[in-house]
Amino acid sequence: MKEKPFTIASFEGFLQEKKLMGSRCTQCGALWLPPRPICPSCKHDGMEWTEFSGKGKLAAFTVIGVGPMPMIDSGYNRDNPYCAGIVEVEEGPRISAQILGVDVVHPENIKIGMPLTADYVERGSWHFVEELAKNRKMYLTFRA
Amino acid sequence: MVGAGMSAFGIRPDVTNRELFAEAFLDMRRSVDKQFDLKDIEALYVGNCGAEMWESQTAIGALCANEVGISPRPALKIEDACASSSVALREGIMGIASGMYDMVAAGGTEKMSTLSTNWTTMALACGSDTSYEGAAGFTFPGLYASMATAHMERYGTTHDDMLRVAIKNHSNGALNPKAHFPMTIKGVMEMRIAKAKEKGTPVPNWADEMEFLNDPRYNPVIAWPNTLFDCCPVTDGAACILLVAEELATEFTDTPIYIIGSGQASGQNLHDRETLTSIPAAVIAAQQAYEMADVVPQDIDIAEVHDCFTIAEIMAIADVGFFEEGAEAAKAAAEGKTARDGIKPVNVSGGLKCKGHPVGATGSAQIVEIFEQMRGSAGARQVTGRDIELALTHNIGAHGTTAVVQIYERRQ
């Protein structure tokens, strides 16, 4: 079977199947999440898809009241803020994601290093132009 | 550099980008000590981040050239988020260094006040990696807030350390007539007290400005831990610099300012960086600039750095080598080291925090301050008691995907 191209669309396609997929360099073995077509480490352009376990820990975070439109449309606002963070997955790479299941009312209780598991939520697309924002799709999140 | 000027920064409802740019251009023209002919400007480089979004207008380079009367000279619009006008200036430098041009104008303009808070948040977030960072719900205050939580975790930095940066930069900007909010934090606090008395509502009883800043009713969280006063405002404004070939400089002024070091680097989105507590592109750009100028951080007399959020200044003063990354940089404002009378004055203009941050104009506006400070024409905010021979600017595009660091010299 021909490999899917190492694109954002392919990564998002896997998210629809609730799979967290990245790329592995066939030359140096480095892992990339999100997937990369050219290895940033050894510059080789041979990659293969690899599934990540979805287990990770929180590396940095914030709690946001005024978010981008897809978050506002999902019901988030100053009275109902959400957590966004950077997650270091157990295989090594880091990725950005909404963080669910944490105490957004008391952000000081959210701890860097806390264990997280990948989860998937549907919301509108991230686009400045409204016409492009209509498509709903599955997005990566992590849950405490 | 033989001329430098800027528009008033603030909410400017009655003007568009081209008119803001013309205001800066005229201010620049007035700053040139000897006569010069506009016809000698051979090219125009205009930094702009988002006129498409805020003003439904592309191709503003030519519009600006027309407005200031230098058509048909070539005009370029250059976009690198909040570093747009530093990048524009560098392109101008290269136009002259290549031998192609003897005189160019370079600057930037941004009109931001047209959209609601929600849509301005979106427009700014377009500078993130929207497919991954935007998709995660990150906003710009949120991305820098994440760097702040990483800094707090790694170095024990406190939110009060961050707020000290805001207090310092507002005390500088209070002296800047072109600043968006030319007030000290204490002044803001006293205004709130006066307003409460006037309205007959309970009068807040803050002991000092730090207590005021820690009152969430008056300083709400924007993206935790970033509060309102950790964030720069949304500002309309423009700035413009006149560059000429080195050997011609004294034809236009007896006190030209020389750009002796210039560095620029690109960087990754936040989650791909090896560090979350420093901006690697800024470190690389600074190394390039120091190497080209053949000076070291200790030699720099004053600096304007990219304090779009308070934590950004704490990281910036470490990334350019003034202070050690971590506690030393985090406490620099609290200890007075970066104050106007400190060992290393930083953001004497008020910084992005107080002066305002019209994103595509910010880099060149930083340079306007350096130009005026080095020539002793900064008025009430002139740094005194030291000879300013070397200065530095540090301008970040987006959350660190572009960085420009430059070093300036005044020759005797």
pLDDT in tens, A32-76: 999 999 999 999 999 999 999 999 999 999 999 999 999 999 999
Share of chain A above pLDDT 90, in %: 92
DSSP state, residue A74: T
Least confident of A127-141, B111-125, B389-403: A127-141
pLDDT in tens, B49-78: 999 999 999 999 999 999 999 999 999 999
- Going through B79-190 in order, the beta strands assigned E by DSSP cover 103-110
- The pLDDT score that the predictor gives to residue A2 is 65
Q: Spot the catalytic one: B170, B180, B306, B357.
A: B357
- The pLDDT score that the predictor gives to residue B59 is 96
pTM for the model stands at 0.97
| Mean of pLDDT values over B92-114 | 98
Chain B contact for A89 (CB, 8 A cutoff): no
Q: Do B269 and A96 count as a contact with CB atoms less than 8 A apart?
A: yes
| Mean of pLDDT values over B139-167 | 98
Q: Looking at CA atoms only, how far is residue B230 from chain A in angstroms?
A: 14
Residue A133: pLDDT band (50, 70, 90) is confident
Q: Looking at CA atoms only, how far is residue B225 from chain A in angstroms?
A: 7
With a CB cutoff of 8 Å and minimum separation 6, the contacts of B246 are B258
Other C-beta atoms lying within 10 Å of the C-beta of residue B28: 25
Q: Is B49 a catalytic residue?
A: no
Counting runs of H as helices and runs of E as strands, what totals does chain B give? 14, 11
Partners of A95 in the beta sheet?
A87
Other C-beta atoms lying within 10 Å of the C-beta of residue B108: 39
| Mean of pLDDT values over B334-351 | 98
Partners of A94 in the beta sheet?
A88
| Mean of pLDDT values over B197-214 | 95
ipTM for the complex shown:
0.97
Q: Is B308 a catalytic residue?
A: no
- The pLDDT score that the predictor gives to residue A134 is 85
Q: Do A71 and B126 count as a contact with CB atoms less than 8 A apart?
A: no
Residue A1 has pLDDT above 80, yes or no: no
* Best B114, B224, B269 residue to mutate vs chain A (most A CBs within 10 Å): B224
Residue B412: pLDDT band (50, 70, 90) is confident
Average pLDDT score over chain B: 97
Distance of CA B23 to the CA centre of its chain: 18
Strand B390-397 to B302-305 pairing: parallel
| Mean of pLDDT values over A77-97 | 97
Q: Do B271 and A96 count as a contact with CB atoms less than 8 A apart?
A: yes
Q: Which helix (H) or strand (E) holds B262?
A: strand B257-266
- The pLDDT score that the predictor gives to residue A131 is 87
Residue of B nearest to A31 (CA): B272
Chain B contact for A56 (CB, 8 A cutoff): no
Contacts of A126 in chain B (CB under 8 A): 130-131, 134-135
Q: Are the CB atoms for A71 and B134 separated by under 8 Å?
A: no
As a whole number of angstroms, the distance between CA B77 and CA B393 comes to 21
Q: Spot the catalytic one: B49, B64, B82, B231.
A: B82
pLDDT in tens, B17-41: 999 999 999 999 999 999 899 999 9
Q: Do B134 and A68 count as a contact with CB atoms less than 8 A apart?
A: yes
Q: CB pairs under 8 A, 24+ apart, for B319-325?
A: B319/B278, B319/B279, B319/B282, B319/B283, B319/B286, B319/B394, B320/B282, B320/B286, B320/B392, B320/B394, B320/B405, B321/B286, B321/B290, B321/B296, B321/B297, B322/B297, B322/B346, B325/B155, B325/B277, B325/B278
Residue B119 has pLDDT above 70, yes or no: yes
